[in-house]
Structure 1
C-alpha cells in the first residue's frame, strides 16, 4: 500500500476521487467507517442534487452517469427566485447551447450508489469498510493513518473526505471557518396539484426560506429552512398534517401538497478550510468547503475539486509532491471562494428581517433584471467551478 493514495471517507467526494484516480491507473485505498452494505445500497435521505452540465460530464467520464436509471434523472429547465410576497421574480434560463436545461435533478442516494458501483468494479480500488480512521500524520515523505482496529497504513498522499466537521482536518493542523446558523433545512418529496414544469423555485419569505425542486411530473422536493426549534416541531408532524402545513407555507402556489416521504432534517453549518493541503495530505468535498445549500452547488463544487486534484495527480511522478498540492490548493480556492462568499452574502441579505433588509432585497431583484447584472449573477449561481 506504500504507493496507494489513502482516501478517508466514501461519500460522494471520496468515491468520485477514487474512481478518477483508478481510471488513471493509480492505486487507491478507500477507508469508510460505514459498513459496505450501506455504501452499496444507500437509503433515500431526502436530498436532491441539482447537477450542473459540468458535473454531469464528470460523472459520465467516471462511468457513473450510465449507471443511473432513466427515471432517476429529472430535467431542470429554469429557476426563479422570489422575495417575500412580491410577484417580481429573478429568473434564470439556460444558454441556447445547453439543450434547454440548466441542469439535472438526481437524488443523492442514486448518485452515491452509481459511484459505488463504479468503484466496486475497479480492481485498483481497495475498499476498507466498517473501520474508522483514528489518527492521521503527515510528514514530508509520507502520509500515515491509524485505523480503529490498530492497523497503520502509509502512502504518498492522504486525502480527507470526511465531511465539513472533519476530524482529520483538525489532526492535520488545519483550521476552518465554521458558521453554525442555528437553522435547519427540512427536505422531502411531495405530490402537487399543479405541475412544476421543470422549474426550480425559491422564496425568501419572512421568517423562512422555501424551495421547490422539480422531479417527475407532479412530484417535487419541498425544502423548508427554519430556526432549529421550529424545524424540529415541523419534522415531528404526521404526513397528513405536514401536507396541509406545507400547502399553507407555500401559499397554495402549486395547489394542495401531499407528502410522499418523511421530512429529513439537516442542521445548517457552513465551513471553509484555512488550507486545502499540507505535506502529503489534501482536503476534498465538504472537508474543504461546506456550502450553504441555497445555491445548490455544494456537490458540484466538491465534484469539480476532486476532478481538479485527480487531473494533477494523473500527470505526477510523486503523488504527494508539495508543488502539486499547492497548485491544487490555489486552483480550488480561486474556484470556490467567490461562490462561497457570494452565497453567504445572499443568505445574509435575504434572511435579514429588518425593513432596510427588505428594501435592499427588493431593489436587488429589480437591479438584477438589468442585462449585465443578470449575466453576472447567472454566471455565478448557475455554474459550479
Structure 2
C-alpha cells in the first residue's frame, strides 16, 4: 500500500499531526496496534492536562477545540509553588497579564476524544488498527514499513509516534537519554468544603510532591508523587486515611476533604531521543521527548512539536521540496530542539532538586523560590512563556 505519509502510533501527537495536515492533498495512513474503540471512547485515566493559550490556539487551528465542551474545561487563575512547610510561595497570577486566566485544565480523555472526532471523517486519512510494525527499511526514495501480519506500506515520510518507550526507536538502534526518578505519580479527585478559587498549587514537601489542580469550586484533582515503595503504601491506604493525610498535608486550606472515584498511578520516567530523524523517518511526541509532569508541560510541548513539523511539511509542499528530505527533517530537529531541550533539562533539574532529601538542596530550593518571587523579570519571563499566543 502506497501513502505519502505514514504515522506509527495513534496517540494524541500522531492524530493531531494528521488533523494539522487535513487541508493538504497528502494521502495519510495511521498504523496503530490497538483497536478503534480506544480512540472513539477513550478510558478515563485520571489525568487533567493544563493547556496554555498557545496550545488552545493550536487545537483551534487544527479543528479540534470545537469538540471540547466548555463545561469540561476548568480555568486556572493563579499558580503557586510552595516549598516544604514554608508559608511563602512563588505566585503566577493572571492579574499581572492581559489575560483573564493562565490557561485551563481539560481531562485527558476529553482531549483524545475531541482529536478522534476531528480525524474520523477526514477523507485523506486512513487508520489501520490492530496493526503492529515489525521493521522499517528506508532509502532515498522512501520507507518500506513491514507489519507483523505481512502487510507492507510504502511512504515518502514516516512519523514515529509510538510513545516514550518507543519500540521502533529501539529497533532502529537510536539512543535515548532516559531518567528513571524511581518515583510514581498517583492522581485522583477530591471534593472539599472550601473554595479553591481556581488556584493551582504545587507543594514540594520533603518526602513527597503534592499538586492541587482546580476542577470546580469544591472539586480538585490531586497529584501525589512519592518514591516507589512509599507509593505502594499510599495506594493501600483506606479512603479515610487518604482524606486525613491530604487535609493535613494542605494544613486544612481546603477544609474537609473526601476522595471520589478511582486512583491512577504512573511511573516517573523521562526520555529525550538522541536523534529526531533518520532517513525518511522522524520522531514526534513522547517518542521524541517524554517530559516529567512536574511542570505540566508535556502535552503542550508535544503540540509545539506537531506545529513545527507540520509547518516544515507545508512549507516543503508550497516550495515543491521533497518533504522527506534530510534538509526538511533537519529544520524540524533544529527548531524543536531549541524549544524542547531547555525546558526538558530545566524540568529534570527541578524534579531532582525538589525531590532530594539532602540538606543543601533544601536550602537551595527555598532560596530559589525566594529569589524568583522577588525578581519581576524572572517571573515575567516565565509568564510570557506560559501565555504566549502567537
Q: CA shift at 1:24, angstroms?
A: 2.7
Q: 1:95 to 1:193 in 2, by over 3 A?
A: closer
Helix, strand or coil: the match of 2:14?
A: helix
Give the structure 2 partner of residue 171 of structure 1.
171
- What CA deviation, in whole Å up to 9, does each residue of 1:67-118 have, x standing for no partner? 0122111111110000000011000123766531111100110000000111
Give the structure 2 partner of residue 196 of structure 1.
196
- How many residue pairs end up in the alignment? 385
1:247 paired to 2:252: no
Partners of 2:216 and 2:75 in 1: how far apart? 9
Q: 1:384 to 1:240 in 2, by over 3 A?
A: farther
From 310, 317, 320, the equivalent of 2:324 is: 320
1:371 paired to 2:372: no
Partners of 2:160 and 2:303 in 1: how far apart? 14
Q: 1:131 to 1:3 in 2, by over 3 A?
A: closer
Partners of 1:324 and 1:98 in 2: how far apart? 36
From 335, 340, 354, the equivalent of 1:350 is: 354
Helix, strand or coil: the match of 1:224?
A: strand
Q: How do 1:15-164 residues align onto structure 2 when only pairs under 5 Å count?
A: 15-94=15-94, 98-164=98-164
1:330 paired to 2:338: no
Partners of 1:72 and 1:234 in 2: how far apart? 29
Helix, strand or coil: the match of 2:22?
A: helix
Q: 1:133 to 1:88 in 2, by over 3 A?
A: same
More deviation, 247-256/43-52:
247-256
Partners of 1:297 and 1:148 in 2: how far apart? 35
Q: 1:383 to 1:192 in 2, by over 3 A?
A: farther
Helix, strand or coil: the match of 2:216?
A: coil
Q: CA shift at 1:373, angstroms?
A: 2.5
- What CA deviation, in whole Å up to 9, does each residue of 1:274-297 have, x standing for no partner? 011111000111000011101100
Q: 1:28 to 1:236 in 2, by over 3 A?
A: farther
Identify unmatched segments of 5+ residues in structure 2: none
Partners of 2:25 and 2:51 in 1: how far apart? 27
Q: Residues 213 and 221 of structure 1 are in contact (CA less than 8 Å); yes or no, is this contact kept in structure 2?
A: yes
Q: 1:263 to 1:200 in 2, by over 3 A?
A: same
Q: How do 1:259-338 residues align onto structure 2 when only pairs under 5 Å count?
A: 259-316=259-316, 317=320, 318-338=322-342
Partners of 2:134 and 2:357 in 1: how far apart? 44
Give the structure 2 partner of residue 185 of structure 1.
185
TM-score with structure 2 length normalisation?
0.94
More deviation, 345-354/54-63:
345-354
Q: CA shift at 1:5, angstroms?
A: 0.8
Q: Residues 45 and 109 of structure 1 are in contact (CA less than 8 Å); yes or no, is this contact kept in structure 2?
A: yes
Q: 1:241 to 1:11 in 2, by over 3 A?
A: same
Q: 1:384 to 1:89 in 2, by over 3 A?
A: farther
Instruction: Give me the CA root mean square deviation.
Output: 1.8
Q: CA shift at 1:10, angstroms?
A: 0.8
TM-score with structure 1 length normalisation?
0.96
Q: Residues 185 and 268 of structure 2 are in contact (CA less than 8 Å); yes or no, is this contact kept in structure 1?
A: yes
